[in-house]
Structure 1
Amino acid sequence: MELKQIIHGQISYSLNLYKKLLSMEQGNVVVSPLSISAALAITAGGARGETLNQMVSHLKFVDSNIMHQYFIHIRNVVLKDISHEGGPVLDFANCVLVDKKLPLHTTYQNLIREYYGAESSAVDFGTQAEWARGEVNLWASQKTRGKINELLPPGSVESSTKMILANALYFKGQWEKQFDSWRTRDEPFVLLDGRTVRKPMMASRDRQYIKNYGTFKVLRLPYRNGSRGDQAFSMYILLPNSADGLLQLEKDIDASATGWFVEHLPDLKETVAVRNFLLPRFSISTGFEAPLLLMSLGLHLPFDPERSDLSGMLNELVGSFPPLCISNVFHKATIEVNEEGTVATAATAVVVAFGSCMPSEQYEDFVADHPFLFLIREDHSGSIICIGRVVDPQ
């Protein structure tokens, strides 16, 4: 399978997930499709039959081998921490907690270790459910540098829980050209309902990577990417020309827009002069339970206690067990954007139980004084780290 097809698939998954989330969240939103898909891929590593096929298809891969190869590339190349060489601070980690009475299959243990860097830890959920919840939350907090402290809420882990599979993602990048804090000033920002509020807006006189696509503009803000050259992270801001244009822009983002993301975002390589440039500081946190969202995107079997097949996780030679299924999926994501750069984090936990579930010197202004869409992308691989919207800068 060509790399371009894989990129198309992952962008499509990211956009579909984002659009479905908008039906649940009306305000500011940030989500990491990459974190969600990683946690599901680890789970899929133990799926068999139609459950495996559906999970692989849901994640937009043609087969499980390509899926696992993609995530080892994400872990070892795309999100490998080379901050000591001047790039962003990165952490992409996975962990698995399993009930001590369940014998994990050696093949599954080897798979999650080789492709996802995850070692399984045994716990007695029957007597230590709350302790296990605390351990996962502590792990997520450590991996996200304290940004996500309670991935699993109270009551989410019970004595009936048999396994928790979690992913955590941390990104801290400095702008290639940082904003001067002394230029930041309160300016009007128009909300979706037409009201105007005053928010701190970062300003710049530097040339910028901007392209005008008629009804909206795209700004690319590159991060310092280190000396090796195999990583290139950027934030992209998609700003509607009209103050109330975000809803239409989001409506236009469908499967056909995937090609646009692949073909046009990499073209933002030439800077243009700006006269007016404003971008709000913003901080967003989003958390939700994902089963209904995932099922609305066609992922049903792993949640179905009657049809789920996660038997590849267990060594059946050791004993006979009821079928495993996903009982819940929790996701949290945060992002903070200021004059220095960006901190973005995400964590996802899958809870498993038994049977329950510029050519010329022209000017192009960019004044983000109304709602807009944003994403962080690794430009070599096309991987979208997170995507979201700002309707009211916090």
Structure 2
Amino acid sequence: MNRQKFSGVKNSFLQRRYGVSLGRRYVLAAASVVLFSVLGCSQVDTKTRAVAETGIPKPEPSLQKKTVIPNTKVVNANNKFGFKLFSEVAKRESNAKNISVSPTSVAIALAMTYNGASGLTQKAMAKTLELQGITLPELNSAYTELNQLLQNPEQNVQLTIANSLWVNQDISLRPDFLQRTRDFYQAKVANLDFQNPSAPSTINNWVKENTKGKINNIVDKIEPDQALFLINAIYFKGQWSEKFDKSQTQPQTFYTASGQQKQHPMMSQKGEYRYYENPQFQAVSLPYGQNKKVSLYVFLPKQNSNLKAFYQNLNAENWEKWMSQFDSREGSIRLPRFQTDYDITLNDTLKALGMGEAFTNKANFSGMADQLAISQVRHKTVIEVNEEGTEASAATSVGMVPTSLRQPQEPFEMIVNRPFFYAIRDNQSKNILFMGAISEPG
């Protein structure tokens, strides 16, 4: 089967955007929120109160973003943190459950939080987020540049990143913290009456808007001692550089992690891909857009292995090694259509990774305000992959080498009919936007 050439970008986009039927939609979204609570009964510092920003349009991404060079130290830190985060989450989930996280969303939400941390709390967060040796000004500038580089890299690949800070109207925050949040993270900063029953809806509507309706809520209720919410939302929608032919999609057997067999639509395609294989797994890169700046990487453990064994080798060092060994090769792939929603509270995960103090009465967020601690870090993702491409959203809330010439190789065959790992990676910056594991495609 010949791969279909990408054409009619604008027309296809308009059809999908305005609801003309082209088959199932595809999306990826993530949201992360950090919730903060007040410790004790004394009044929080009253130097400067967060001032609501309303009616101010968000600045358009710079047209000069192609000239931006990402800070490799911060990208490496993000990816190291991402693999640690995923590994810890995987430990806590059953082998039969699909997992999907956006390390970028969680890292940005926690980076905003890190701006208010001091003392031992700051050191603990730096260790967890792999920020040792990176100054706060360097970190903030790097996120400004990364945001500029990542957003909407080309016409048929949409990627948006949005941040917000919601402050209880009775709470006042340090002016320099507020200024950094606005200047470096382009965050919407707003005061809100947390006692008003409509307050959760106000926050959730912002998340819904910034994930294109894929994540409807990140805050279920607001506790009486809640002080503020720091939220990151990411939305991604990409068309394959070469779409799958829908007529080639057929029901085939997928062998789930629980040992069951289920019939599931499997997409099929032949062509030239960036591909890597070793004794443990097969891996392929499926790019989005004409310029292939972003790709979905699929890692399929060999039949004599499984995801649990794959996880033992899944870390930032091995990831970079694997990325350097992908090579162009002819082959065929069968990939299940899949969609999954994932919702997790990351408190225990982050405590296990070393930042437990931030959740206790020993927490020091004096750079933000007095007597604050993180009460909850919540993360949601939505992803759908089909013949057209991928659409995804994530939301995180913090409540507070030269190679030798190779001989021609036989075409590979990669049949993804059993549990697999995936990652969506920005190939320009090398930043990993999403990662997950599908044990049973939905």
TM-score normalized by the length of structure 1: 0.88
User: Corresponding residue for 1:291?
Assistant: 347
Give the alignment of 1:207-246 within 5 angstroms. 207-224=272-289, 232-242=293-303, 245-246=306-307
User: Corresponding residue for 1:347?
Assistant: 395
Contact kept in structure 2, 1:42 and 1:116, CA below 8 Å: yes
Contact kept in structure 1, 2:273 and 2:284, CA below 8 Å: yes
Confirm whether residue 277 of structure 1 aligns to residue 338 of structure 2.
Answer: no
Amino acid in the other structure paired with 1:37: A
Distance in 1, Cα, partners of 2:229 & 2:146: 22
User: Corresponding residue for 2:53?
Assistant: none
User: Corresponding residue for 1:327?
Assistant: 375
User: Corresponding residue for 1:57?
Assistant: 127
Deviations 1:59-110 (A, max 9, x none): 1112323322232122111x2224xx42411110000011222222221111
User: Corresponding residue for 1:195?
Assistant: 260
Once structures 1 and 2 are overlaid, which stretch shifts more, 59-68 or 19-28? Answer: 59-68
Give 3-state SS (helix, strand or coil) of 1:60's partner: coil
- Judging changes above 3 Å, is the alpha-carbon distance between structure 1 residues 5 and 120 closer, same or farther for their aligned structure 2 residues? closer
Tell me by how many angstroms 1:301 deviates. 1.9
Distance in 2, Cα, partners of 1:56 & 1:64: 10
| Structural RMSD (CA) | 1.9
Gap regions ≥5 residues in structure 1: 315-321, 353-357
Give the alignment of 1:124-273 within 5 angstroms. 124-125=193-194, 127-128=195-196, 130-153=197-220, 155=221, 157-224=222-289, 232-242=293-303, 245-253=306-314, 257-270=315-328, 272-273=329-330
Distance in 1, Cα, partners of 2:71 & 2:152: 22
- Judging changes above 3 Å, is the alpha-carbon distance between structure 1 residues 264 and 4 closer, same or farther for their aligned structure 2 residues? farther
Confirm whether residue 80 of structure 1 aligns to residue 137 of structure 2.
Answer: no
Contact kept in structure 2, 1:109 and 1:119, CA below 8 Å: no
Deviations 1:13-68 (A, max 9, x none): 11111111112322111011111111111111111222122212211112323322
Tell me by how many angstroms 1:5 deviates. 4.2
Amino acid in the other structure paired with 1:152: V
Tell me by how many angstroms 1:378 deviates. 0.6
- Judging changes above 3 Å, is the alpha-carbon distance between structure 1 residues 95 and 6 closer, same or farther for their aligned structure 2 residues? closer
Identify the match of residue 368 of structure 2 among 294, 313, 323.
Answer: 313
Give 3-state SS (helix, strand or coil) of 2:203's partner: helix
User: Corresponding residue for 1:317?
Assistant: none
User: Corresponding residue for 2:44?
Assistant: none
Aligned residues: 364
Give 3-state SS (helix, strand or coil) of 2:244's partner: coil
Distance in 1, Cα, partners of 2:216 & 2:146: 24
Distance in 2, Cα, partners of 1:179 & 1:52: 47
Larger RCO of the pair (alpha carbons < 8 Å, separation 6+): 2
Give 3-state SS (helix, strand or coil) of 1:380's partner: coil
User: Corresponding residue for 2:63?
Assistant: none
User: Corresponding residue for 2:413?
Assistant: 365
Contact kept in structure 2, 1:89 and 1:173, CA below 8 Å: yes
Give 3-state SS (helix, strand or coil) of 2:377's partner: strand
Distance in 1, Cα, partners of 2:239 & 2:87: 28
Amino acid in the other structure paired with 1:10: N
Contact kept in structure 1, 2:341 and 2:381, CA below 8 Å: yes
Moved runs in structure 1, 4+ residues, more than 6 A? Answer: none
User: Corresponding residue for 1:33?
Assistant: 103
Distance in 2, Cα, partners of 1:223 & 1:392: 24
Gap regions ≥5 residues in structure 2: 1-69, 401-405
Tell me by how many angstroms 1:251 deviates. 2.2
Amino acid in the other structure paired with 2:439: V
Identity, in percent, stands at: 28
